[in-house]
Amino acid sequence: MTRHDAIPNEQREIQREFFRIDAETAERIRHLKPRLMTYAREALETVFDHLMGNPEVAHYYEIAENITYLRAGMLAHCDRLFAARYDHAYYAATDEMGERHSRLEYHSHVYTAAYTNMFARIVELAMSDRHRFTVDDITALTRVTMYDMELTVGAFYRHRMEKRDALAQDTEKVRELLAAS
């Protein structure tokens, strides 16, 4: 059983309801997906420019293989997100993404800022397109994006807490061993 399986489907439905993601919202995003993916591809360039210009993380993004890997991963995640299918694969992907980010040991703001900048750029592109998004389109996009970010940031911190707890348990075992000797 993976971590995301620990949350029952009923709880996931309550979460989506809380974010006001209903069948109409999901269908709207699925309908917009081809345009959203076009915008996402273009938006990625500004996200990487921003990350490479940040001294806190620039060294990681100077490696071409890292950019190639991250670009493919981010586009795959956008493809899954804009499919608006809240299934096992989607929840597994959000968990895995949050955990991968946590393992890199950067502060969470690096990810939320990148996510926010990409979202803002997608909205900017959608609004400057000759077939502008409607208010309902932007609302639907905001809802599913914020839900997605909540899931990935939640996984980020869950991984951090699990690492902390494992370290505390290991420390306790060492203390017991030292006390016994």
Q: Alpha carbon of 151 to those of 39, 48, 92, 174, 181: distances in Å? A: 22, 22, 10, 35, 45
CA distances from 138 to 27, 106, 133, 161, 171 (A): 13, 30, 6, 34, 49
Is the pLDDT confidence value at 80 over 80? yes
Residue 151 has pLDDT above 90, yes or no: yes
- The DSSP element (H or E) to which 37 belongs, if any, is helix 23-52
Residues 145/18, Cβ–Cβ less than 8 Å: no
Look at residue 23 in the predicted model and tell me its pLDDT: 96
The pair of structure tokens assigned to 8 is 């029952």
Specify the pLDDT at position 24. 97
Confirm if 47 and 57 have CB atoms less than 8 A apart.
no
Q: 5 falls in which pLDDT band (50, 70, 90)?
A: low
Average pLDDT over residues 152-176: 80
Contacts of 55 (CB under 8 A, 6+ apart): none
Token pair, residue 81, equals 């997100």
